[in-house]
Amino acid sequence: MNVVLFGPPGAGKGTQAKELSSYYDIPHISTGDILRANVKQGTELGKKAEHYMNRGELVPDEVLIGIIKNRLAEPDCKKGYLLDGYPRTIPQAEALDGILEEIGMPLDVVLNIDVPDEELVGRLSGRYMCECGESYHVRFNPPQNEGVCDSCGGQLYQREDDREEVIRQRLESYKNKTQPLIDYYANKNLVVHINGEKDINSVFDDIRVVLDKYLN
């Protein structure tokens, strides 16, 4: 199945994508994760991206389009893909249409995870991450031992951009540049809305009801 997980920062895209990826056995492609890995390794790409990311601004389209084109060309995507955090602008969506047509894997569905703004700030400021890809929340999804990852025992940390002033800017970028994509995909009849205010497991169950239709 070929899926875009859409929604504002903190909606739960990464949390759901991780579970869905193992449940349906399709790759989870998060442009945020790819960019952060490049920043950490100090690559040219990472150096270019870092200053935008730390300010909560979008990294330029041409950089992202290159990343996604390469990633979708990898063999594991023959099974399908779960895009998380891409596309985020109209030019990115248009480029994606072209890439998907070329590889013959058109989108099945765009899941829009809806969560109100007030809730998003609380989710992001309480988020803790692990190197292994797990993420937690101090209140909504706490690890068994404070500061330690349940699945690998690693030390948890906060993301650079999960500071209040950067969170506000990320929400602004989302409203101005990314939200218009809902109409773009609604015009193609691809959007299904998911109530992201429910607890993590209920959101997962609701998404499965939708995605099970696309199993072949």
β-partners of residue 111 are 5, 192
Please tell me what DSSP assigns to residue 101: H
Is position 147 an interface residue for Zn ion (rule: CB under 5 A)?
Answer: no
Is 10 one of the binding residues for Mg ion (CB under 5 A)? no
- Is 159 a known ligand-binding residue? yes
For residue 136, report the phi and psi dihedrals to the nearest 5 degrees: -130, 175
* Interface characters, 66-105, with ligand AP5 (x: CB under 6 A): -------------------xx-x---x-------------
Q: Is 88 annotated as a binding residue?
A: yes
- Catalytic: 40? no
Is there a binding annotation on residue 55?
A: no
Helix orientation angle between 61-72 and 44-53, rounded to the nearest 10 degrees? 130
Residue ranges in 7-116 assigned as alpha helix (H): 13-24, 31-41, 44-53, 61-72, 90-103
44 close to 28: Cβ distance less than 8 angstroms:
no
Query: Considering the rule CB under 6 A, would residue 52 count as an interface residue with ligand AP5?
Result: yes
Binding test (CB under 6 A) with ligand AP5, winner from 56, 95, 96, 156: 56
Catalytic residue among 18, 159, 163, 208: 159
Applying CB under 5 A, does 12 fall inside the site for Mg ion? no
Cα(first)–Cα(last) distance of the chain, in Å? Answer: 8
Strands (E), 57-154: 81-84, 109-114, 127-129, 135-137
Q: Which residues are catalytic?
A: 13, 88, 127, 159, 170
Which residues here bind ligand AP5, judged by CB under 6 A? 7, 9-15, 31-32, 35, 52-53, 56-59, 64, 85-86, 88, 92, 123-124, 127, 135-137, 140-141, 161, 170, 196, 198-200, 203
Which residues here bind Zn ion, judged by CB under 5 A? 130, 132, 134, 149, 152, 154
